[in-house]
Structure 1
Amino acid sequence: MLATLFAQDGSFPLLDEPTNHLDQDGRKQIAQYLKAKKTGFITTSHDRDFLDKVIDHSLVIEQHQLVLTHGNYSDYFIHKEQRDSTAIKKNENLLKDIHHLKQTRQAKFQWAQQAENEKKNNSHADKGFIGAKAAKMMKKATIMKGRLDTAIEERKGLLKEIEKVVPLTINVLPTNHQPLLSINDLTLSYPTKQLCSNITITIEKK
């Protein structure tokens, strides 16, 4: 199928995992052909070494966006690590700002609440004066809280999503089987040729 595709003049092939089911020599041959190919092509592959040999641009899906970079996959990965590092530092600074703003908001609320409590607990003072003072402070605190809430939400909106690779853990379950495999008098053959005969094998744990 690959040979038929490559034999078509003027084609712009889309190659989906072209190295699947190929041995090392086949992969090398395909890579050499694509590297020398004068017309363009698009390929998808999990074989990073193959990609590095044949591509000059990378188009990668990253969460909510497409990222196009000049160069092979290794070039893209270096660029991604640099972007991630910058984003992580920016996020750290934004989170510090958000924490500070939340502390300021809490302090302003407590300050206004103290004035309100002073009005309630001071029975001998001028209620009108204290009430007006408390109302004024509460109004200021409410306005300040609104501004701080807006600033917090703005900073939250600037936080960057960082792709994280979740480690793949494999929990190996111990086995008490001993032996693991026993083969007695095995014979393998084609219709016209015998490969082996009378094989007896015992595979034990470890």
Structure 2
Amino acid sequence: MNTAKKIAWSSWSALEEAMVLSDMAPSIPESFDEINPEELTPEESQMLAFMPIFPTPESRLLHTPLGFFPMDSQLKPSDRWDCRIGHTNFEITKSVKDILNRIDGVEALKVLGRYTFFIGIATMFKFKDVRVDIEKQLCSYTEQEVLDEETKITVDLVRGQLESNKYWSILVTGSGEVDYVVSNNLDQTYLDGLNKLLEVKKELGGIILRGDHG
């Protein structure tokens, strides 16, 4: 990856309102007499489970990330949680899903695609706090992610040349590019160089390795 990890957010509740207003939700059938459960797809079976026992022609279904719900149901995701959809520029792997499940405030989670996930935030938590926690844990790089065998050899060579100096910092970007700043004095030149590395890290992602003195 040659860019920083990012997550864009949208409110699913707003999408729901647009769907309701545009009258896009499907109608519930008036009779179940001719329905053969064995012929239903998994999605249709899930939809049937949420249908009212005595449906009326006016009853309508809402298609949510967690399945179909009657519009008047109090169990709809948007009635239970603050619903958000996260759009990432990195793959949502099992480890990413595990991290999301451990985030305080995330009560419901559904991976919708390779780069998209749905979360329901519990009532006693605020989205802005949950968002900060998620982005802090998912949008940072680890040494294991950026230091493949070839890059590690390069970094070790650079580190060996810099360690005789008191101050040094090495940037390894998400795509494996390596840059550094070094000095024996914590002067403005070194600090300016370090700030440039931090700016590149913010834009491209990656990690910064530093000496004992920073």
- Structure 1 length as normaliser, TM-score? 0.23
Q: Which has the higher strand share?
A: 2
Q: Which has the larger radius of gyration?
A: 1
